Structure 1
């Protein structure tokens, strides 16, 4: 217990110190929200990766999908690395940075408002973000608190409140730069921790070969292939179709999540983007691939502790797998998941507060808001957002994976298609963006009530794919934006590449 407490005290002390150190980088709105648009490749790549993976992945998703699909769940991690990181950076990073800099846009709603010349669209997008980031935040508290309960026997509610206070403290103090520096530190901890944990867990099962043989002997309990052995070690597992849905949601979904896209706004130069692409992909492969690979062995730890009647408590699988490890390793695990979760939480609360302040309140409810007032309101809203998510986390309505599926499905379903097409295509219309908002939110919310798709994760994947179809179809039959306005938007790409290269020559990319 002493070793676990020492690890936590050191970790918390570093986080608070970084917040205090970063106060000098948070004196105006541009610095507080974007880090002055001068963040280097390593910080940006780690910020992207640590915002991507949290307790939701390590505890909720790895536990649930490892149980359902066995080792084939590792495909989810591979998809996250190749689609959610590598391809996202290749397709989105440079154009996002160039166009948002040209539009002087600090948030995704601001991008929509300026790209499509619509104040109403900007306000609607900010409202969508604020509402649907809450369940995602609650799911992170939930997953982390289960590990704390296992390691320290601390009541769930105390874990939630303590984590919320610490995260809020360093974000309020240092803004984006504090989150980026802490993300880098937390990312290093995650990389080391996941490798150590996998080795320890497999050694407890007699090594990789013996664990694999034991898993191959476990019979399937799915109705379609009940009793069949070997499925949990097969290439695509017992349910390839639903596995594909999870890969789509968790990989393609990042393309439309405001807290992920925001990282591309802040990166420094063209060279930084190239470096960040490589670092982010390797990080995702190790963290996500390792988490799902570990979860794939979950059935070897079947125990009454993870059963509630005839149902499996998926959120308890990973904590139970780790409960037999030595204290020092449990301490490492707790710091690992704490690092992953706090980095994601800081990104979520900063995104939500900045969006509500800059895109909803400024210029509408509170006209002519001065910069100091904007900073104050953002900090107040960080507290407000944390309080709401804590209340929801203390009484979560469903499993972690379902909470995340609802949030990702709604946000990515609404934003992915218009954002992607908006970066590349001049023909995208206002009506098609509104249609994507309606379809993405409509599919996700209606499925919550009517359950026409059993899994909210598959519903989220459907919402994203639907948006990619709806936007071009509606654009064909709706009124186009003024040609001169569009040319003024896309002129940035005629000199954007040269501008990036000039910046790169003048200022070497920092860490």
Structure 2
């Protein structure tokens, strides 16, 4: 217990210390929200990765999908690395940095407003973000409850409050730069922690081959359809249900392309080198952390004699797998999950506060707001968002309220479904229209809200799952935006030409970067 407490105190002390150190970088809006657009490649890559993966993935998703799909759940981690990180950086990174700087936009709603020339579009996007990020923020604490109960004799509410306060301190003090530096440290902990945990868990089962052999002996449940009773299915390449597994891969991977807290990491990129290095680093990080989490969860059924899914849910799978680890390794696990949760929490509250301040309050509710006032209001809103998320998390933990958890389940689908296609086409295609954005916003939010309402019973069987429903909304948006754009009024030529002129600006580079051929 002494070792655990010392590690926690050191961890929290470093996080807060970095926040106080970065105060000088958070004196204006650009510095507070984007770190002055001067964040280096490693910090940006780790900020992207740590915002991507939280306790929801490590405890919730790894346990749930590992139990359902066995070792095949690792495909979700591979998808996160290739589609959610590598392709996201390649497709979005450079263009996002160039156009958002040209349009002088610091948030995703502000991008929509300036790119499509619509204040109402900007306000609507900020409202959608506010509605769906709050329950997502509250859910970050859920994964900590069982782990803290296993490792410490401390009330869960106390742990939640302490974590929230300390996260708030370094975000409020140092803004994005403090978040990025802390994300880097937390990312290192996550990398080494997940490797150590995987090794320890597999070693407890006799090693990788022995664990895989044990997993192959477990037959699928009688309710598993065509594969019911089949042995070896949980150790197979695609698992018992490849169609629904594909939905998991799409939602958790393609979803990052439309999540404001993820995309805004590209706004802060410092240079071309940062893009190239960030692409490689974030992909490797996702492969190790996400791939490791789902790979670990895939062996959950080896502990089925200790797990009662009906009584305790899927969140009990990973904690049960870890319960037999040495005390020092348990301390590492707690720090790992704290790192994952605090990094994502800091990113979410910074995104929420900046969006609400710059896109909703500034110029609409408060007509005149200087730089100092904007930063002050964002700091106040960070306190508000963290307080709301703490209250929601404690209410959910101590009562039978399930609506919050359900709403969190659709938040990724609603946000990414609404924003992915308009943002992607907005960066690449001059023909994307304001009307098409509206249709994408309305379609995805309506469908995902219906998924937690009584209307859900009328959904096709494949879309009853929020995972599949969210994946459907993302893919539908990619079709809706071009189709609606082709049949609606064309965007104003001057507005579009001005937005895309940033890509035509000439730059001079060294020959180490290009041969400089006359062609």
Q: TM-score, normalised by structure 2?
A: 0.94
How much does 1:146 deviate?
Answer: 2.2
How much does 1:163 deviate?
Answer: 1.2
- Paired with 2:294 and 2:125, the residues of 1 have a C-alpha distance of 32
- Stretch moving more, 326-335 or 451-460: 451-460
Does 2:473 align with 1:463?
yes
Q: Partner residue of 1:37? A: 37
SS of the residue 1:448 aligns to: coil
Does 2:475 align with 1:473?
no
Does 2:28 align with 1:24?
no
Which residues of 2 match residues 81-96 of structure 1 at below 5 A?
81-96=81-96
Contact 2:413 2:474 in 1 (8 A): yes
Q: Partner residue of 1:135? A: 135
Q: Partner residue of 1:442? A: 446
- Paired with 2:231 and 2:270, the residues of 1 have a C-alpha distance of 52
Which residues of 2 match residues 75-114 of structure 1 at below 5 A?
75-114=75-114
- Paired with 2:9 and 2:146, the residues of 1 have a C-alpha distance of 19
- Paired with 1:335 and 1:435, the residues of 2 have a C-alpha distance of 43
- Stretch moving more, 394-403 or 362-371: 394-403
How much does 1:303 deviate?
Answer: 3.9
- Stretch moving more, 438-447 or 76-85: 438-447
Q: Partner residue of 2:411? A: 407
Contact 1:142 1:400 in 2 (8 A): no
How much does 1:485 deviate?
Answer: 1.7
SS of the residue 1:387 aligns to: helix
How much does 1:356 deviate?
Answer: 0.1
- Paired with 2:193 and 2:308, the residues of 1 have a C-alpha distance of 24
Which residues of 2 match residues 160-199 of structure 1 at below 5 A?
160-199=160-199
How much does 1:395 deviate?
Answer: 2.9
Q: Partner residue of 2:273? A: 271
Contact 1:56 1:400 in 2 (8 A): no
Contact 1:134 1:385 in 2 (8 A): yes
Is there any run of 5+ residues in structure 2 with no aligned partner, and where?
514-519
Q: Partner residue of 2:257? A: 255
- Evaluate the alpha carbon distance shift between residue 278 and residue 51 of structure 1 in structure 2; reply closer, same or farther with a 3 A threshold: same
How much does 1:402 deviate?
Answer: 5.1
SS of the residue 2:141 aligns to: helix
How much does 1:305 deviate?
Answer: 4.9
How much does 1:398 deviate?
Answer: 4.1
Does 2:504 align with 1:494?
yes
Per-residue CA deviation, residues 202-251 of structure 1 (Å, 9 max, x unaligned), is: 01111111111111011111430222110000000000000000000000
Query: Which residue of 433, 438, 442 maps to 2:437?
Result: 433
- Paired with 1:343 and 1:101, the residues of 2 have a C-alpha distance of 25
- Paired with 2:494 and 2:83, the residues of 1 have a C-alpha distance of 35
Per-residue CA deviation, residues 313-333 of structure 1 (Å, 9 max, x unaligned), is: 111111111011111000000
Contact 1:314 1:399 in 2 (8 A): no
Contact 1:112 1:121 in 2 (8 A): yes
Q: Partner residue of 1:324? A: 324
- Evaluate the alpha carbon distance shift between residue 65 and residue 398 of structure 1 in structure 2; reply closer, same or farther with a 3 A threshold: farther
- Stretch moving more, 134-143 or 193-202: 134-143
Does 2:386 align with 1:386?
yes
- Paired with 2:73 and 2:91, the residues of 1 have a C-alpha distance of 26
Q: Partner residue of 1:418? A: 422
Contact 2:38 2:270 in 1 (8 A): yes
How much does 1:156 deviate?
Answer: 2.0
- Stretch moving more, 454-463 or 51-60: 454-463
- State the number of aligned residues: 500
Per-residue CA deviation, residues 267-299 of structure 1 (Å, 9 max, x unaligned), is: 101111011000010000000000000000001
How much does 1:371 deviate?
Answer: 1.2
- Stretch moving more, 149-158 or 356-365: 149-158
- Paired with 1:265 and 1:72, the residues of 2 have a C-alpha distance of 35
- Paired with 2:353 and 2:228, the residues of 1 have a C-alpha distance of 48
Contact 1:143 1:400 in 2 (8 A): no
How much does 1:20 deviate?
Answer: 0.6
Contact 1:306 1:320 in 2 (8 A): no
- Evaluate the alpha carbon distance shift between residue 282 and residue 399 of structure 1 in structure 2; reply closer, same or farther with a 3 A threshold: farther
How much does 1:484 deviate?
Answer: 1.8
How much does 1:160 deviate?
Answer: 1.5
Is there any run of 5+ residues in structure 1 with no aligned partner, and where?
506-511
Q: Partner residue of 1:47? A: 47
SS of the residue 2:39 aligns to: coil
- Stretch moving more, 9-18 or 147-156: 147-156
Q: TM-score, normalised by structure 1?
A: 0.95
- Please identify runs of 4+ aligned residues in structure 1 that moved more than 6 A: none
- Paired with 1:202 and 1:399, the residues of 2 have a C-alpha distance of 36
- Paired with 1:314 and 1:395, the residues of 2 have a C-alpha distance of 20
Per-residue CA deviation, residues 372-394 of structure 1 (Å, 9 max, x unaligned), is: 11111101100111111112212
Which residues of 2 match residues 348-387 of structure 1 at below 5 A?
348-387=348-387
Query: Which residue of 232, 236, 239 maps to 1:237?
Result: 239
RMSD: 1.6
